[in-house]
Chain A
Amino acid sequence: MTPGKNVVNAIIITVVFAVGGCMTTRIEETKNVSTGIKKGEAVVILASSYHATNPAEDSFIECLSDAVIGGRTGLNVHPASEFKDALFPWLEPRTAPTGVDGLPELLKRPGVHERVRERDIRYIIWIEGDTERKSGGGSLSCAAGPGAAACFGLAWWENLSSYEATIWDLDDGVASGKVSTSVNGTSVVPALIIPLPFIARTQAAACNGLSKQLRSFIVETG
């Protein structure tokens, strides 16, 4: 490798790390009432109804359910599909309560309270939000010939992952509060012969941030 090429590669690596650090996370929490969870009690995480809001992607719900289980203060997460089946049809997109005002009506339906108690579900966590591409640009072109291929240019794009969790306490029939996260990140792919993708995984960061905040929201009393 020539000294000139070394310099160019060093510049690219510097740019990549500089831009790659550009992922910003914001987490907000609003607690209305005291929380806490007893041993054996569980939470269930559901995407909000698409009739009323912007429900989170299935992949985000799966990520969040897995992440909330982990850690020292991990929560017991009841499978969402089993819970929806057990309360069928009262958590379908058409029938699910769209606000905490609908919670007493749900719980007083014949058989519903019993099924919630049997599963020891303390909290329902409704998730809405999504990940969307805000902007992008640049140019990257590749060419291949006999025995050789190369790419040149630079492409970038900016993603915003924004999610909100609304927590309902089924014991007290109240909205405990909300936790929201917003992660903005820029991905860059510079290429000088070899493309070097540097992807800002905003959805994964949002999942990680929201899960930590949810755990502390529920576990920490007060």
Chain B
Amino acid sequence: MFITGCARSVTVLSDFPEPVVEPLPLAIGIRYPAELAEYVHVEDPMMDAEWTIRLGEANMKMFRVLFASMFDEIVELEGTAAGEGAEGVDAIIEPRLEELEFTVPRQSGNDQYTVWLRYNLRILSPEGKLIGDWRITAYGQEDEGSMGTGAEDSMKEAAITALRDVAASIIIGFTSAPGVQTLLPPKQAPENDQAG
């Protein structure tokens, strides 16, 4: 009963700004796995209460705003089969959140809540053939609330900063991600970074 009373729960909700980038001339199908939209991380770290972090809704909001800005055309694919519903697109992207790690001030010995996120962006041809597998690690930190209060708020802000970091990583690294250069028109291919 005591441990249940000390458990901490965070539902990360946030709006994400529209990135200032020039869209790439691509039509992209996006398949969001159910695990991404319903992502929940539960962990009982040493020296702290059990944490439940719900990141699903924030995941979806971040990716929808990001991809809508990055590409000329976006199609959200409903099915789960490899190329299902992907007619007319140049490629399919499947974002997955593979891992979430966090630390709290009691563990790290400083006054920061920190969150690491590891995503995998699978890039597929319209027929469903894997053409690129891109792993992205993102990080966010937030000061501890004064007098030890606001732990949930600090963890939430650290997670939002990490999600913004994911978006930044994807924008600056997409055109040089595995397999992506084969999709780009010749004038885009030599660029290292996204046009934005």
A-B contact count (CB 8 A): 48
Q: Is B1 an interface residue (CB 8 A)?
A: no
Within 8 A of A (CB), among B11-62: 16-22
A17 at the A/B interface (Cβ < 8 Å)? no
For B65, give the chain A residue with the smallest CB separation.
Answer: A88
Roughly how many angstroms separate A111 CA and B18 CA in the complex, as a whole number? Answer: 12
Spot the interface stretch: A24-32, A92-100, A121-129, A192-200. Answer: A92-100
A59 contacts across to B, CB distance below 8 A: 143, 146
Interface range, A side: 10 to 19
CB < 8 Å: which of A57, A58, A93, A109 contacts B20?
A109
Q: How far is the CA of A115 from the CA of B17 in the complex (A)?
A: 13
Given contacts A92-B164, A95-B168, A95-B172, contact A87 B143 (CB under 8 A): no
Q: Given A88-B17, A89-B19, A115-B20, A110–B165 Cβ distance below 8 Å?
A: no
Chain A min CB distance to B144 (Å): 10
Query: Known: A50-B141, A57-B143, A110-B196. Contact between A88 and B165, CB under 8 A?
Result: no
Q: Is A151 an interface residue (CB 8 A)?
A: no
Question: Which residues from B are CB-within-8-Å of A110?
Answer: 20-22, 195-196
Query: Could you tell me the distance between the alpha carbons of A4 and B16 in the complex, rounded to whole angstroms?
Result: 67
15 residue pairs of the A-B complex, CB under 8 angstroms, read: A58-B143, A88-B16, A88-B17, A88-B18, A89-B19, A89-B171, A89-B172, A92-B165, A93-B161, A94-B169, A95-B168, A109-B20, A110-B20, A111-B22, A115-B20
